[in-house]
Structure 1
C-alpha cells in the first residue's frame, strides 16, 4: 500500500496547474506536491494519477514517488487566498501527494536532448494510458539532476469518464503527432518489445489495488469497487496488447482544436494565457 503521511503545513499553491495543486510539508519531514479531492476535476483525476504513476514507475519510467496524504482543513485557516481556503476546506481527509523535486526545471525540447530509446518508452507509455496532456504545448515533464521525470497524469485514461464506451476505447489509436517528444525520433518498436510484455494482468491488478477505496465508491454501473478495479485492469490489459500497432507520429498540428475533454481544454487554456 502507498505510504500514508499527514500534512503539517501548507506552503504555497502551484498556480500553473488548473486544479490548483499545492506544496505541503508532512509529518515524515517530506515535501510533496499535493493534489486535492476537492478540486474541480474530482477524484477520478487522482485515480488516474495513482494508476498511471505507479504503472510508469513499475515500467522503469521516472515518476515522482506517490503517497497518501491526510489533510486537516484547519491548516488552511491562515491562508489569505480565498480560493485556496475553499479548496482546503473541501479536501479534508485523504488526498494524494507526489514527491517534490526541488530545483527541477520544466522540460524544454530546445534545451534538453532526449534519446530515441527513452522518447520511445515515454510515447509508448502515454499511448497505453491515452495521455492527452503531454503535448509540445504542455509537456508535463521536468528535468531533475539531468534526468527526465514525468508528472501530472490526471488527464489519462479518459475512458473512465464514460465506462459504457470503455471497451471501444481499448482499441482506440493514439496520435502522437503533437507529443512533446515526437521530434526526437522515438523508437516505438524497441519500446513495444520491452514494455508490452511487462504489462501483465498481475501487474495491473497490483497497481489498481493501490487506489484508495473511497475514491472508487458509488461509481454508476458497477456493483462493487472490486468490479470497478477489474474494469481498469481489463481496459489497460487489452490496450497493451494492441496499442503498439496503433501509434502514429505525423506533423504536429498547431492550429487544430484540442481533442481533450472540456474540463481539460479549459485547464490548458488557463495555462496558455498566463
Structure 2
C-alpha cells in the first residue's frame, strides 16, 4: 500500500446533490479535481474512516478504486459561498477531509447493460461482505464505468458497527445476511475462488498498515474515551477476525446465491 497523499483544497466547484451528505467536486493545489467527502456532513468522520478503509482494502484486492487523498480545508475556505447550507457544511469541515480522484466522463454502472466477469463480481461481493457494506444494491450500485473498466466508489456505509461502537465484538461475527441484496451476487459464481484470493492478498500486516493510515484526528471518538489508538485497535481486531473467519460470511453469500439464482 502506497502512502496516502495530502492536498490543500483551493476551489469549491460544484455540489453533488446525492443523498444527504452533499459531497462536492473540488479542485486541489495539485491541479486535480476530487469528489470531496466532508467531515462535517451526515455521519461525520466515521463515514470518512469507512471510505478510507474500504477503498484501501479494495485496492489491496486489485480492484479499481479512485485514488484517495487527505484533503485539507482551511478556515477561510468557503466564506464566499452563497448557499447557506453549503457554507455551514464547509465551516463544519475545517481540517482534514477525504477526496477521491474525479473520474471525468464516467458513467453509473447499469447491471442491465453491463455483464461483470464472474471472478471480478465474486471478489466485489466478498469485499462487501467482509466490510459489512450494505450499500451496493440495484437501487444504488456505487460503481462506475470508466474507460470500459469497473470502478468502485463510495464505501462510506462500510463498517457500520462503528455507529453502535460498544457492539463491535458482536458485529465482528456478523454473517452479513444483507449480502442477499448485492447487485452483483447473481454474477458471483466463483465465490470460493474469490475467498482464496482475497485471504491470500490480505494479511495482518497489511490490515495494520491500512488502519494506521487513518488520521488520528478522525479517531478521537467519545465511545473510545478520546483515545485514537484504542479506536484504531478496534478496527484492526474487527477486520482481522473477519479475514481469519471469512467462512462465516462466505457461507451466507453462497446460500443467498443458491436461493436467488
- TM-score past 0.5 threshold: yes
Greater shift in the superposed pair: 124-133 or 49-58: 49-58
Structure 2 equivalent of residue 69 of structure 1:
71
Following superposition, the deviation at residue 93 of structure 1 comes to: 1.5
227, 231, 252: which one pairs with 1:247?
252
Structure 2 equivalent of residue 178 of structure 1:
181
111, 127, 132: which one pairs with 1:125?
127
Distance 1:223 1:45, change over 3 A: closer
Q: Counterpart of 2:19 in 1: which secondary structure?
A: coil
207, 214, 218: which one pairs with 1:211?
214
Structure 1: tracts of 5 or more residues without a match: 253-274
Question: Deviation digits for residues 209-245 of structure 1, max 9, x if unmatched?
Answer: 1111100014324573222211111111111122333
Q: Counterpart of 2:7 in 1: which secondary structure?
A: strand
Structure 1 equivalent of residue 201 of structure 2:
198
* d(CA) in 2 for partners of 1:78, 1:133: 34
Following superposition, the deviation at residue 17 of structure 1 comes to: 3.4
Q: Counterpart of 2:13 in 1: which secondary structure?
A: strand
Structure 1 equivalent of residue 9 of structure 2:
7
* d(CA) in 2 for partners of 1:246, 1:183: 15
Structure 2 equivalent of residue 270 of structure 1:
none
- Do the aligned residues in 2 keep the contact of 1:199 with 1:237 (CA within 8 Å)? no
- Do the aligned residues in 1 keep the contact of 2:220 with 2:226 (CA within 8 Å)? no
Q: Counterpart of 2:245 in 1: which secondary structure?
A: helix
* d(CA) in 1 for partners of 2:225, 2:91: 29
- Do the aligned residues in 1 keep the contact of 2:219 with 2:228 (CA within 8 Å)? yes
TM-score scaled by length of structure 2: 0.91
- Do the aligned residues in 2 keep the contact of 1:174 with 1:246 (CA within 8 Å)? no
Following superposition, the deviation at residue 73 of structure 1 comes to: 4.8
Which runs of 4 or more aligned residues in structure 1 lie more than 4 Å from their structure 2 counterparts after TM superposition?
none
Q: How many residues are matched?
A: 252
Two-structure CA RMSD over aligned residues (Å): 1.6
* d(CA) in 2 for partners of 1:218, 1:174: 25
